[in-house]
């Protein structure tokens, strides 16, 4: 459950859910200065503390606030945002200066276009937003989150929605006689956060009454925990994004650093894909063989990726490759057995490892290995890059004896 080796300023361990381990760059999208601190602050600080790159897009300068009203409020709140971002460990931030209170009535696509631009600039592999309810129902909050969620879906990126557990939202609404929305059901992730850093970022927004009773009560009830909802991307968008990234590195002459980047991209694909939304054809077993292989992508530049399904007691035959490649586990646990000798006979086992969900490995030209199930049923992704004068092994199945 943790990113080992990373600690809060007070020495306690930073805890980020394991499913988010492959993420390296995140873009937070909010409507107003202080949304990133009053709402997302604990989570953004935790992500930054684990070495991830965190960027921030804020749509308005918050000039419409009734707190601290003055002709200079927009500039004041822009400066406050910068100070809070530094405290949270945010690497870069953008202020779009759109009309405060008017995001919901902008032309269709205006907010999404701006999110799209910043996703590309940040090279983000996930977006972080307020819950789609807006938490307090604020129309600007809802519009900002909706735009970011739509861009994430089309770009094949996971989204992380921050919000309040339903019971807590109801308790705060009753206690303060305010509109508060709890998160709907979904894949909820628990974070352990550093409230010291969080309160320091909140304090940077001096014009907005940071020491207010509602905020203090909310954080008191939450303790050092926050909850996010993970929205996994559709397979079509995720696959398109993976293909675009893989083409940078899936070459016969790729250097070790490039191969490591390809493996990271494949692991991210495996860990964050919504397998419940996969077509049945990509998950079916093959009654004529002990394993099944279904083509995901056959690239004209000379590499292919397939979903490999093994069940209890089943395995691919031992096989070698005419190119290098990578594998990552989507569900279950894959046993990777390595051999020396000549394929298909005169083989000797030289090693074995179990690759859990969200794990992966590289293999080199000529490596001999066998993939089998170590959990009852395993789904994994195997990518093979063609090498030398040999023909490329294309989908729909891996090399056979």
Q: How confident is the model at residue 182 (pLDDT cuts 50, 70, 90)?
A: very high
Q: How many other CB atoms sit within 10 Å of the CB of residue 71?
A: 7
Give the residue from 42, 65, 63, 64 showing the smallest Cα distance to 54: 42
Q: How confident is the model at residue 394 (pLDDT cuts 50, 70, 90)?
A: very low
Residues 6+ apart with CB under 8 A from 172: 164, 178, 180, 214, 217, 218, 221
Q: How confident is the model at residue 2 (pLDDT cuts 50, 70, 90)?
A: very low
* Rounded distance between C-alpha atoms, residue 73 and residue 79, angstroms: 10
Residues in a beta bridge with 382: 306, 327
* Rounded distance between C-alpha atoms, residue 130 and residue 281, angstroms: 35
Which pLDDT value is given to residue 392?
45
Which pLDDT value is given to residue 398?
40
Region 43-47: what's the mean pLDDT? Answer: 96
Structure tokens at 161: 């929605």
Is 193 within 8 Å of 45 (Cβ atoms)?
A: yes
Out of 140-144, 190-194, 238-242, 396-400, least confident range? 396-400
Give the residue from 95, 106, 115, 105 showing the smallest Cα distance to 27: 115
Q: What is the DSSP letter of 161?
A: E
Q: Which pTM was predicted?
A: 0.89
Give the up-direction half-sphere exposure of residue 335: CA atoms within 13 A in the CB hemisphere: 19
What's the angle, vertex CA 137, arms to CA 132 and CA 139, rounded to 5? 80
What ranges make up the beta strands (E) of 69-200?
92-98, 126-130, 159-162, 187-192
Residue 285, pLDDT above cutoff 80: yes
Residue 380 three-state SS? strand
Domains of the chain by start residue, with CATH? 18-231 (3.40.50.10320), 253-385 (2.60.120.10)
Region 112-136: what's the mean pLDDT? Answer: 97
Could you tell me the end-to-end alpha-carbon distance of the chain, in angstroms, rounded to an integer? Answer: 40
Q: How confident is the model at residue 6 (pLDDT cuts 50, 70, 90)?
A: low
Residues 210-266: pLDDT tens digits? 989 999 999 999 999 999 999 999 999 999 999 999 999 999 999 999 999 999 999
Q: How many other CB atoms sit within 10 Å of the CB of residue 359?
A: 19
Residues 6+ apart with CB under 8 A from 355: 327, 328, 329, 333, 334, 335, 336, 361, 380
Is 335 within 8 Å of 273 (Cβ atoms)?
A: no
What's the angle, vertex CA 270, arms to CA 8 and CA 29, rounded to 5? 50
């Amino acid at each position: 459950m943790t990113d080992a080796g990373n600690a809060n300023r007070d020495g306690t361990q930073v805890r980020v859910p394991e499913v988010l381990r492959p993420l390296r760059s995140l873009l937070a999208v909010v409507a107003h200065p202080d949304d990133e601190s009053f709402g997302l602050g604990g989570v953004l600080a935790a992500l930054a503390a684990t070495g991830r790159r965190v960027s921030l897009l804020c749509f308005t300068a918050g000039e419409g606030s009734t707190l601290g009203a003055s002709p200079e409020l927009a500039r004041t709140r822009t400066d406050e945002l910068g100070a809070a971002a530094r405290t949270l460990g945010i690497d870069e931030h953008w202020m779009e200066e759109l009309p405060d209170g008017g995001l919901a009535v902008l032309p269709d696509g205006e907010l999404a276009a701006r999110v799209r631009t910043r996703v590309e600039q940040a090279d983000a592999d996930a977006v972080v937003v307020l819950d789609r309810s807006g938490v307090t129902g604020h129309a600007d909050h809802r519009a900002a989150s909706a735009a970011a969620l739509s861009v994430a879906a089309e770009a094949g990126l996971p989204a992380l929605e921050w919000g309040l557990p339903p019971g807590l939202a109801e308790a705060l609404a009753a206690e303060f006689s305010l509109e508060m929305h709890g998160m709907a059901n979904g894949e909820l992730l628990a974070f352990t956060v550093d409230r010291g850093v969080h309160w320091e970022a909140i304090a940077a927004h001096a014009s907005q009454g940071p020491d207010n009773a509602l905020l203090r009560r909310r954080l008191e009830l939450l303790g050092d925990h926050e909850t996010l909802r993970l929205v996994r991307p559709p397979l079509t968008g995720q696959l398109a994004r993976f293909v675009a990234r893989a083409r940078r590195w899936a070459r016969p002459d790729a250097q070790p650093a490039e191969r490591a980047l390809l493996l990271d991209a494949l692991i991210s694909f495996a860990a964050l894909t919504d397998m419940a939304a996969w077509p049945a054809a990509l998950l079916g077993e093959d009654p004529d063989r002990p394993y099944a292989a279904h083509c995901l992508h056959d690239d004209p530049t000379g590499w292919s990726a397939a979903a490999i399904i093994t069940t209890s007691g089943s395995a691919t035959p031992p096989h070698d490759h005419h190119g290098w490649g990578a594998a990552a586990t989507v569900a279950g646990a894959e046993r990777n057995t390595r051999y020396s000798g000549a394929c298909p006979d005169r083989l000797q086992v030289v090693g074995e490892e179990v690759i859990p969900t969200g794990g992966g490995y590289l293999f080199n030209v000529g490596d001999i290995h066998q993939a089998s199930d170590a959990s009852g049923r395993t789904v994994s992704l195997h990518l093979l890059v063609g090498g030398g004068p040999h023909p490329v092994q294309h989908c729909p199945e891996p090399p056979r004896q």
